[in-house]
């Protein structure tokens, strides 16, 4: 089994795969010590270095490859591996546009009449600014997004990041200067959740829903990040998201998988992850990702009772509906330790100490993210998230306590959101939906 990627999401995939007796080979751009420890052989190279990748697969001869991050998917790594005779968990470049191009996604959902769409409009780099002003005036408030990939940090909201129309126009100009289109959508209000699904053709199987936290600081303050932490509940729902709402979300993902097959001529084989928001006007789709979430993968993969390798093999054979997939009924809380200054001006190449034995003794799990092991036992930070700590327990309160205690066993110039998974934060979510008369 070949694993491509070097983050905490990939470490979570590696741990889940190694619960079975398999040989794991990892292709990474930096040495993730957790993945390296689980691998029979690793190769350090840029993820778009296809010469190095080809040499590696000729050497290790994997039967299946699993692609973790979004950028290689958008670049067409799956197409390359399929050409070389390797089966892959991950969509082709064209199907991966469900994440890499917001215009592709919105237009696809419109074309096939799939529900959950907000009001939206795309503006090309040659757009006259008055057209944008008129659209903002029509909607009142908008969310402004880059059309392409932005690492979870390419969205700005009016009233929070953008104070008026002038600031909206300035941000659009920034996007246009990069040669990208800007997407303006109606500003939705509600509560978000993530639904990650195994998808093979028109068959899909959902994982427990998760809520992520994009803002950098406690109380949902500060700039957007790649995700500061996340939680899932023991009943696989959330205290403010019902089973009926999850069924709606599942149906939207199922319809989308069918539409991708019709549109691209090839069935989707990989993870399809919908970012949803429950609003006063019903369930809305914010975005799609073509892979596991980071941090959401760390919530759901440790709960898997069914071997992940068996699920992947069934997906490759297009027999996903024949396998019985089960998850443990426990709650999870993931807290990310990130470099001081993240995400605006993060400290980098700082040494950190991780006492993995004490973390395990607390009943927590840990996943190495954007760090590099420059020599045995010496780990330094990069400019992104460093270590994910996950508490798993019978309920959210216990899972949060475990995760919070375990963070103290990572030393270095790092910080984390202490409020992820707390009773107070979850109550704010409930109160928010009550104020909006959704609950």
60-97 tens-digit pLDDT:
999 999 999 999 999 999 999 999 999 999 999 999 99
Summarize pLDDT for 295-314 with one digit per residue, the tens.
999 999 999 999 999 999 99
- 196 and 182 housed in the same domain: no
Q: List the domain range (segments joined by +) for residue 64.
A: 2-95
Task: Give me 157's structure tokens.
Answer: 């909201």
> Would 259 be classed as within a structural domain?
yes
* Cβ pair 391, 399 in contact under 8 A: yes
CATH number of the domain where residue 82 is located = 3.40.50.20
- 172 and 264 housed in the same domain: no
**CA–CA gap between residue 147 and residue 107 (Å, rounded):** 12
> Would 260 be classed as within a structural domain?
yes
Summarize pLDDT for 195-240 with one digit per residue, the tens.
999 999 989 999 999 999 999 999 999 888 999 999 999 999 999 9
The residue out of 132, 162, 186 marking a domain boundary is 186
- 83 and 40 housed in the same domain: yes
Is a pLDDT exceeding 70 seen at residue 145?
yes
- The SS3 assignment for 29 reads coil
Number of domains in the chain: 3
Q: What is the dihedral of CA 339, 46, 366, 290, to 10 degrees?
A: 100
- 250 and 208 housed in the same domain: yes
> Would 144 be classed as within a structural domain?
yes
Structure-token match 């427990």, residue found: 208
Length of the chain: 439
Summarize pLDDT for 107-125 with one digit per residue, the tens.
999 999 999 999 999 999 9
Summarize pLDDT for 338-382 with one digit per residue, the tens.
999 999 999 999 999 999 999 999 999 999 999 999 998 899 999
> Would 30 be classed as within a structural domain?
yes
- 176 and 204 housed in the same domain: no
pLDDT confidence of residue 276 = 98
Is a pLDDT exceeding 70 seen at residue 151?
no
Provide the β-strand partners of residue 332: 232, 392
The residue out of 186, 212, 245 marking a domain boundary is 186
What is the band of 149 on the pLDDT scale with cuts at 50, 70, 90?
A: confident
* Cβ pair 127, 174 in contact under 8 A: no
**CA–CA gap between residue 194 and residue 289 (Å, rounded):** 10
* Cβ pair 367, 293 in contact under 8 A: no
For 139, counting Cβ atoms within 10 Å of its Cβ (0-12 exposed, 13-18 middle, 19+ buried), the class is middle
Provide the β-strand partners of residue 381: 371
Phi, psi of 223 (to 5 degrees): -70, 165
Task: Give me 6's structure tokens.
Answer: 């070097």
**CA–CA gap between residue 376 and residue 399 (Å, rounded):** 31
| Mean pLDDT computed over 152-178 | 90
- 139 and 263 housed in the same domain: no
- 133 and 10 housed in the same domain: no
Q: What is the dihedral of CA 419, 423, 425, 428, to 10 degrees?
A: -170
Alpha helices, H only, 179-328: 243-264, 296-300, 308-316
- 253 and 293 housed in the same domain: yes
**CA–CA gap between residue 1 and residue 373 (Å, rounded):** 23
> Would 177 be classed as within a structural domain?
yes
Task: Give me 166's structure tokens.
Answer: 């002038």
> Would 102 be classed as within a structural domain?
no
Summarize pLDDT for 232-246 with one digit per residue, the tens.
999 999 999 999 999
- The SS3 assignment for 138 reads helix
Any residues with CB less than 8 A from the CB of 25 and at least 6 apart, and which? 1, 2, 3, 39, 40, 41, 42, 43, 56, 60, 62
**CA–CA gap between residue 428 and residue 405 (Å, rounded):** 23
Share of the chain above pLDDT 90, in %: 95
Is a pLDDT exceeding 90 seen at residue 270?
yes
Q: What is the DSSP string of 367-396?
A: EE-SEEEEETTEEEE-SS--EEEEEEESSH
Residue whose C-alpha is closest to residue 237's, from 225, 251, 224, 247 = 247
- 364 and 387 housed in the same domain: yes
- 181 and 206 housed in the same domain: no
Is a pLDDT exceeding 90 seen at residue 58?
yes
What is the band of 153 on the pLDDT scale with cuts at 50, 70, 90?
A: low
CATH number of the domain where residue 390 is located = 3.30.470.20
> Would 73 be classed as within a structural domain?
yes
- The SS3 assignment for 194 reads strand
């Amino acid at each position: 089994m070949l694993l491509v990627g070097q983050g905490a999401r990939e470490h979570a995939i590696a741990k889940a795969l190694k619960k079975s007796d398999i040989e794991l080979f990892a292709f990474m751009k930096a040495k993730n010590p957790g993945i390296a420890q689980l691998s029979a052989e690793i190769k350090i190279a840029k993820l778009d270095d296809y010469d190095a990748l080809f040499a590696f697969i000729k050497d290790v001869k994997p039967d299946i490859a699993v692609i973790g991050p979004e950028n290689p998917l958008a670049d067409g790594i799956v197409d390359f591996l399929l050409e070389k005779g390797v089966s892959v968990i991950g969509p082709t470049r064209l199907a991966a546009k469900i994440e890499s191009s917001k215009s592709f996604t919105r237009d696809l959902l419109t074309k096939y009449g799939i529900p959950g769409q907000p009001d939206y409009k795309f503006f090309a780099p040659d757009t006259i600014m008055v057209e944008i002003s008129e659209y903002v005036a029509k909607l009142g408030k908008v969310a402004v997004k880059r059309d392409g990939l932005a690492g979870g940090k390419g969205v700005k909201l009016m009233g929070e990041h953008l104070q008026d129309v002038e600031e909206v126009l300035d941000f659009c100009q920034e996007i246009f200067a990069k040669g990208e289109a800007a997407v303006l959508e109606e500003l939705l209000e509600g509560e978000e959740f993530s639904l990650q699904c195994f998808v093979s053709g028109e068959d899909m199987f959902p994982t427990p829903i998760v809520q992520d936290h994009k803002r950098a600081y406690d109380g949902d303050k500060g700039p957007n990040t790649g995700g500061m932490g996340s939680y899932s509940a023991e009943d696989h729902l959330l205290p403010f998201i019902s089973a009926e709402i999850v069924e709606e979300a599942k149906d939207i993902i199922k319809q989308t998988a069918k539409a991708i097959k019709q549109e691209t001529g090839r069935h989707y084989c990989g993870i399809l992850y919908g970012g949803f928001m429950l609003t006063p006007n019903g369930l809305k789709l914010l975005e799609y990702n073509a892979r596991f979430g980071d941090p959401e993968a760390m919530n759901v993969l440790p709960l898997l009772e069914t071997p992940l390798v068996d699920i992947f093999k069934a997906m490759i054979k297009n027999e996903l509906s024949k396998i019985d997939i089960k998850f443990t009924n426990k709650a999870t809380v993931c807290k990310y330790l990130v470099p001081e200054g993240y995400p605006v001006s993060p400290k980098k190449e700082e040494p950190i100490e991780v006492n993995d034995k004490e973390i395990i003794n607390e009943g927590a799990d840990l996943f190495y993210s954007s760090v590099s092991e420059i020599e045995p036992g010496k780990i330094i930070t990069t400019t992104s998230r460093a270590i994910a700590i996950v508490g798993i327990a019978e309920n959210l309160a216990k899972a949060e306590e475990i995760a919070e205690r375990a963070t103290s066993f990572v030393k270095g110039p790092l910080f984390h959101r202490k409020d992820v998974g707390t009773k107070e934060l979850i109550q704010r979510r409930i109160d928010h939906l009550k104020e909006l008369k959704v609950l």
